[in-house]
Structure 1
Amino acid sequence: MITRETIDEVKNRIDIVDVVGDFVSLKRSGQNYKALSPFTNEKTASFYVVPSKGIFKDFSSGKGGDSITFVMEHEGMSYLEAIRYLAKKYGVEIKEDAGRREEELASQSERDSLYIIMNFAKDHYRDLLMKSDEGKSIGLSYFRERGFNDRTIEKFELGYALNEWDNLTRTATGKGYSEDMLEKAGLLIKKDEGRKYDRFRGRVIFPVQNLSGKVIAFGARILTKEKDQPKYINSPETEIYHKSNVLYGLYQAKNAIRKEEFCFLVEGYTDVISMHQADVENVVASSGTALTEDQIKLMRRFTENVTVLYDGDAAGIKAALRGIDLVLKGGLNVRIVLLPDGEDPDSFSKKSGSTEFKKYLHDHTQDFISFKIGLYSKEASHDPIKKAEAIREIVASISVIPDPIKRSVYIQETSMLLKISEAVLFTELNKILIQDRDKKIQDRSRVRAEEPLPPPVVDIAPASKTDLASIILLQERETIRLLLNYAESPYEEQRLADFMLAELEDVEFTDPVLKEIYEMFKKGIEQNERVDTLYFMEHGSPAVKSAVATLTTNRYEASKHWSDKYKIFFSHEKEIIHDVAYANILRLKFRLIQRLMEDNLVQIKQATNEADLEKYFTIHEQLKGAEKEIAAILGVVISK
């Protein structure tokens, strides 16, 4: 197992903005950062990173915690795997307890094992490319002919698979890897009749990586002209690889995409690599598959601006038309670059050179409206019917844009370019939107009609009791929030934490997670530890980490313009925390007394003798007196 010293060293070096920023495009919001959720498909940013506390909170999915939690949630890693990833990122040497290494390996999940075996295969293919005679004479020669230098080959971890039936399998099993895991990773193919062979043979290898740089699949290109063999083959779907939500080159491109604030989208592996060599690094590919909604969501986490590169021939233009609407529907701003006829990004970047290639991309970029209008104008220049149909096609593309303001802007631009009344275009747009809305309603109705009816409700708690329980939960939540955020604030001659814990001595929390946080507070204070956000991130359960992240993350901040520009001043909570904490303790006790009174009334109704009845009446009067006393302090009017 990894030693405690290694884990502590990793935690000491972690910068949560840096860690999360590898996977999400963060934008500063006051003292914090925010972004679109990487866990849900939301349109308004509700994902927050709080650097001062080293935590993140995603309000759309409810997830929250520290850097390690984020990596675990986002990448599906175990705790130790997340530590290893972060140790590698920050250059921390991993020290292990050798005596427990076998135990760790035995307990690794299948997912962990797949990552390990894919990394082994990647290293194996790289060694064959650079060291074997066949790899150097065939594979390396091919890459050199494509103009790839050693730096590029290393950057994309390119490799070569020998033209042998079982070279990888023999090597892997000789190192202790099982054939079963090789098959699950998509590296070994087994036939019913007992035959088995490597999936990749006699091909150059393109590793496909996830956002954290782990190899999850391979693409492979054959270099001979065998009629019965496809030019490219790819890894099959596995537990760690789903081609519909992977973009080739995103791991290498993500920093450049953030810097440039837009992304180029191409089709193939070599297109991406060649553009990197032409000093254009903000580029990804759809890995040889038709663009999917999941891939669009993945791009949107880093930028909302996408420029699609297509060949200038008929097939390229058709591909551009198919992809535009899907990207627009995903909420991205789309621009198009059509390359000269017969050229692709790979060939054209080599032919023109880096400077001219970048100039061409800059000079020939057009928005999708101009692209479609230019395309349809050629086809319908002298045919009114075709022109009307082209206009409907353009408006149909505008209709899929989720943002109504963007739709209006594009309608205005279309009106100006085509010299058609905006009113006519808006009428057509509204007609399409109404049809889509009606279709969605019909689809939902059909689904609901096919769903089984929910089971009948047998028992419903009285409304007043349910409401009181909800109010108590809110007060408990507010109590813990104040403890988490202001524990060290002064309160008369002591800390706020000391005052609140003394006042809460006889309070029993109803919510299990809030109760766990409260008990950890008490334990930490008793042991003279500093009980802050980091304390809970270190010692808390996943539920505690998520709750603490929620309660210590401010989703909204007052603009400084209120005071600086408009001279409108109001108190900040930390300035009046003395009164806020005292009032909250009273409100919590007030509601708990009301719950005790409710429970006591049940006892009165169930009493069977005068002694019990008198006892419960006495309790009721005492509780009623306490309720009135607290109500008077709070200024609350209660019924007699």
Structure 2
Amino acid sequence: MDNLRLHPDTIQEIKQRIDIVEIIGDYVVLKKRGRDHLGLCPFHDEKSPSFSVSPAKQMYYCFGCGAGGNAFNFLMELGKRSFTDVALDLARRYQIQIQTLEPEQKQELQRQLSLREQLYEIMAVAAGFYHHTLFQPQGQEALTYLRQKRCLSSTTIQEFQLGYTPASWETLYRYLVEQKRYPVAAVEQAGLIKARQSGTGYYDQFRHRLMIPIRDIQGRAIAFGSRTLGNDEPKYLNSPETSLFHKSKTLFGLDQAKTAIQKVDEAILVEGYFDVIALHESGIKQTVAALGTALSRDQVQSLMRFSQSKQIIFNFDADKAGINATQRAIQEIEPLVYSGQVNLRILNLPAGKDADEFIHSSPENKEIYQTLVKQAPLWVDWQVQQLLKQKNLKDPLDFEQVARGMVEILKRLTDQNKRAYYLQLCGEILSQGDSRLIGLQVNNLSSQLTYGDRPGQNRSRPWQAKDPTSSLLEKAEALLLKIYLHCPQERSTIDQILTENDLLFSFAHHRLLWQKIDQVREHFNLDSDPDNQLPLLVQLAYLEQEEDFKPVESLFQLTETSEEELFQANLRIPEAIAIMEKVPWENYQKHCFGKLQQLDPCTQAEDFRYYQQQWQKARQEIQRLESQRLNPPVN
């Protein structure tokens, strides 16, 4: 759909109908301040709100990072989406009839929109079917399980639209395809049926299972979770990923929890569907569940939109499996936690119970649970507590293991104030109540931290990565954009390379300029631009939307040096692309180095070898790209 060109009348009507406060409010907690609204900027990390939204001007601006624009810019920048994609979503939201410039494209657009809307409709009908079946005679076993085993009220069953799918192989297929007349291909794309291996017919994805609708942030059913009522494996089964459902971007219960998260300024993350449902029924509604073992950055960002303090409480089981799950769950977001961008707390319930069991085991446990949430230790404190479990600090070996573990934790803390605080705390623990030894233990830990930073130490670690040079990257991006603006004949080449290599601009002012180019592209053929109207049209786009043009103004001005660069565009493009490609490899190299620092080469030899090989692979790619930058191909 990105190649569709929307009619200017459609774009104008969208601009007139949208409410920027309403749109941004879906992603940022906004509070009214005078005529404007304030919140935490979603484009950079901050603790005090500097992100302002003006309903009068229908504009936003961040006084911290300089991000600004209208509702289109916000959605494009936040989701890294094209202008067309954003415009179509807004048109659907505000029920605006879409016109395109080419009649044949309008038909394709309507087909794609119809398919997506049909998938939403199919999922809604399926959810209704499962829920209705729950209250039929064939659903009695499932209903009894929910009421007696899970202790759920009729209100909660209704609120989460819990359901049941019969044991037969084609019940839903016959209902949706034969009775409701939905296209079989669409029902299959929704993840509700599968084609038989024989090639003759279809069968239901779920059979004899409790059905739990998984909804998007707007409350639309996009997938299902299920629990077997027999001995089938697996016990829990989710829908496959579809065009509506992406497991790593979805949190179960967020549509019902977002208001509570805003109100109490925290989110509780639990392991299972029934943990969420039980806590919601108990009035603890700021609860969601990840649909897997690891929490992704996308899921964290979804939660952070509703919490100004960026506070997440992990409530996983307190047994060994639960502790391991906690460690695994934060692997991807660990850098956000150690840098203080996310305030992560860990809640382990007594006796190794999960939230569902704990809440239903005693009438008093609701209040106890809320108290435990308030007392939940921060991630670093929890890790220190885990080090001390079953350890006797009077034993030399235990003492050595604990001290070494503390050093590894302290190394990961990038905030110097936080590191100083925990350095003192760890010193107090190791001093075992003898205040005279605190200074000695602090100095001992501190010396081990600084030892790893000595110049000579770097030479003994061949996998250590270097930080990318941001000034070089900024120049490369600027050069590529300048060529794109002033050399029409090179635009298709640049478009192709950026798409094939999945490259994005790293600097905000460059991303905004590329969005402006995308907007112009909607109405103007950039590949056929003999008079080179693009620079003028982009400048007009900046003026029209009252956005800061200064950061990219120099790219529109030609000097003797820049004209020489444009003359050698065929050489300069590969050079600039090579620099842009280096950035993800350098980041990956840093990631591997961080893992190597955490691993013990003796006891975790296999993992250590893997990340050492990956570091070498990243190093080779960086060297290849550096060689390409210094020796670009000659056409």
Taking a change above 3 Å as real, the CA distance of residues 122 and 65 of structure 1, as seen in their structure-2 partners, is same
Residue 406 (structure 2) pairs with residue 390 (structure 1) = no
In 1: Cα distance, 2:267 partner to 2:284 partner: 10
Distance in 2 (alpha carbons) for counterparts of 1:150 and 1:83: 38
Distance in 1 (CA, whole Å) between partners of 2:246 and 2:68 is: 23
Say whether residues 1:426 and 2:426 are aligned partners.
no
Between the aligned residues of both structures, percent identity stands at 29
CA contact (8 A) 2:142 2:210 kept: yes
**Structure 2 residue aligned with 1:348:** 358
Q: What is the match of residue 375 of structure 1?
A: 386
Distance 1:32 1:171, change over 3 A: same
Q: Residue type matched to 2:190 in 1? A: A
Alignment check: 8 A CA contact 2:387 2:405 kept: no
Alpha-carbon distance change, 223 to 439 in structure 1, aligned in 2, over 3 angstroms: farther
- Name which of 316, 320, 325 aligns with 1:314: 320
Verify: 1:140 aligned to 2:136, yes or no. Answer: no
Asked whether the 8 Å contact 2:31–2:38 carries over to 1, the reply is yes
Contact 2:127 2:161 in 1 (8 A): no
Q: Secondary structure at the match of 1:366?
A: coil
Contact 1:203 1:222 (C-alpha < 8 Å) held by counterparts: yes
Offset of 1:64 from its aligned partner?
A: 4.3
- The match for 2:262 is 258
Q: What amino acid is aligned across from residue 350 of structure 1 in structure 2?
A: H
Give deviations 1:373-432, integer Å, cap 9, x for gaps.
333323221432233222332342343344343333333333334435333333334456
Deviation sequence 1:537-558 (CA, Å, 0-9, x none)? xxxxxxx38972634999xxxx
The Cα shift of 1:198 comes to 1.4
Task: State the 1:75 CA deviation.
Answer: 10
| One-letter identity of the residue aligned with 2:225 | G
8 Å Cα contact 1:41-1:297 kept in structure 2? no
Structure 2 residue 137 is the aligned partner of structure 1 residue 126? no
**1:43-82 pair list within 5 angstroms:** 49-56=53-60, 64-66=69-71, 70=75, 74=79, 79-82=87-90
The aligned counterpart of 1:570 is: none
Distance 1:408 1:266, change over 3 A: same
Would the aligned equivalents of 1:48 and 1:553 in 2 still touch at CA under 8 Å? Answer: no
In 2, are the aligned partners of 1:411 and 1:422 still within 8 Å (CA)? yes
Q: Deviations over 1:94-145 (max 9, x none)?
A: 9999xxxxx9886346576245324423333333323562464133333323
Distance in 2 between residues matched to 1:441 and 1:36, nearest whole Å: 39
8 Å CA contact retained: 1:415, 1:425: yes
The answer to whether the 8 Å contact 2:123/2:190 transfers is: no
How far apart are the structure 2 equivalents of 1:442 and 1:390? Answer: 26
TM-score of the aligned structures, taking structure 2 as reference length: 0.60
- In the alignment, the residues of structure 1 paired with residue 383 and residue 320 of structure 2 have an alpha-carbon distance, to the nearest angstrom, of 14
Amino acid aligned to 1:296: V
- Structure 2 unaligned residues grouped into runs of 5+: 1-7, 100-104, 432-437, 470-475, 488-508, 510-530, 564-635
For residues 31-42 of structure 1, what are the structure 2 equivalents within 5 Å? 31-37=36-42
Q: SS where residue 338 of structure 1 aligns? A: coil
Q: Which has the larger radius of gyration?
A: 1
User: Whole-Å Cα distance in 2 between the matches of residues 313 and 84 of structure 1?
Assistant: 47
Give a deviation string over 1:533-587, Cα, whole Å, max 9, x none: xxxxxxxxxxx38972634999xxxxxxxxxxxxxxxxxxxxxxxxxxxxx9xxx
Q: Shift of residue 280 of structure 1?
A: 0.9
Q: Is the 8 A contact 2:191 2:242 kept in 1?
A: yes
Once the two structures are TM-superposed, the CA of residue 279 in structure 1 deviates from its matched residue by 0.9
Query: Are the counterparts in 1 of residues 40 and 47 from structure 2 also a CA contact under 8 Å?
Result: no
The residue aligned with 1:177 is 182
Distance in structure 2 (CA, Å) of the matches to 1:546 and 1:147? 60
Structure-2 residue corresponding to 1:287: 291
* 2:76 and 2:86 in contact (8 A); partners too: no
Contact 1:217 1:241 in 2 (8 A): yes
Question: Contact 2:91–2:97 (CA<8 Å) still a contact in 1?
Answer: no
SS in 1 for 2:545: helix
Whole-angstrom CA distance in 2 between matches of 1:61 and 1:194: 57
TM-aligned CA distance change 1:142 to 1:106, over 3 Å: farther
What is the aligned partner in structure 2 of residue 202 from structure 1?
Answer: 208
Counterpart in the other structure of 1:192: 197
Report the TM-score when normalising by structure 1.
0.60
**Shift, 1:233, TM fit:** 0.7
Mapped partners of 1:433, 1:183: distance in 2: 56
Relative to structure 2, which stretch is displaced further, 177-186 or 277-286?
A: 177-186
The question of whether the paired residues in 2 share the 8 Å contact of 1:57 and 1:553 is answered with no
Take 1:111 and 1:277, find their aligned partners in 2: how far apart are those partners? 37
Q: Aligned in 2, Cα 1:359/1:111: closer, same or farther, shift over 3 Å?
A: same
Distance between the aligned counterparts of 1:143 and 1:12, measured in 2? 48
